[in-house]
Amino acid sequence: MVCFATNNQHKIEEVRALLSPDFPLVGLDEIGCYEDLPETQATLEGNSLQKAEFVFNNFKVSCFADDTGLEVTSLNGDPGVYSARYAGPQRNSTENINLLLKNLKGIANREARFRTVITLITPTVTKQFEGIVEGYIIDELRGSSGFGYDPVFIPKGFDKTLAEMTLAEKNLISHRALALQKLVGYLKASKII
């Protein structure tokens, strides 16, 4: 059994879609963890490690945790590690998007990237995996799938936002999917699954 250290059901669905049906993946609620995981580090790598260590040390279960940030070139990489709390501690996606679009008003360079860092901790290994998808930010929200900044992010080479894609389409190109593919490849190669 491996725990994905999140209570975000959207993330769990994305991961389960990438794994074989018989892979024993559980979320935090299934191991009895109902508290918010600590995220006090200044980097995605640090937050990912901090969350995984918290679960591993307190619940004694192999786990992986992710941290994802939207990094906008013209905003010096912001919101970055603060993406979920960009508009405040309430973690409201609509408010985060509104603040992002306000901060980009009148700026021609809309280049951005989503970056995910996953930390795996087992009794014998601690390892990190990274996934990046390049794209740009648009001015209007499009699509109803996905979550977070998905309705305003169009990946390079596409003409629709992540929120307009099906889960299967998104799992072919998304930052989290790319990091997870590296994780799953490692788990298979090391005979963990």
Give yes or no for a contact between 117 and 44, defined as CB atoms under 8 angstroms apart. Answer: yes
Write down the pLDDT at residue 68.
93
Q: Tens digits of per-residue pLDDT, 9-26?
A: 877 877 787 777 777 889
Give strand pairing partners of 134. 113
Give yes or no for a contact between 139 and 101, defined as CB atoms under 8 angstroms apart. Answer: yes
Q: Tens digits of per-residue pLDDT, 118-150?
A: 999 999 999 999 999 999 999 999 999 878 999
Write down the pLDDT at residue 167.
83
Give yes or no for a contact between 169 and 116, defined as CB atoms under 8 angstroms apart. Answer: no
Catalytic (active site) residue 67: yes
Distances from the Cα of 52 to the Cα of 29, 55, 56, angstroms: 15, 5, 6
Q: Tens digits of per-residue pLDDT, 70-86?
A: 999 999 999 999 999 99
Phi, psi dihedrals of residue 2, rounded to the nearest 5° = -125, 135
Write down the pLDDT at residue 176.
87
Of the residues 22, 66, 67, 159, only one is catalytic, namely 67
How confident is the prediction for the chain on average, in pLDDT?
A: 92
pTM comes to 0.89
Domains belonging to the chain, first-starting first, are 2-186 (3.90.950.10)
Among 54, 93, 96, 90, CA closest to 75: 96
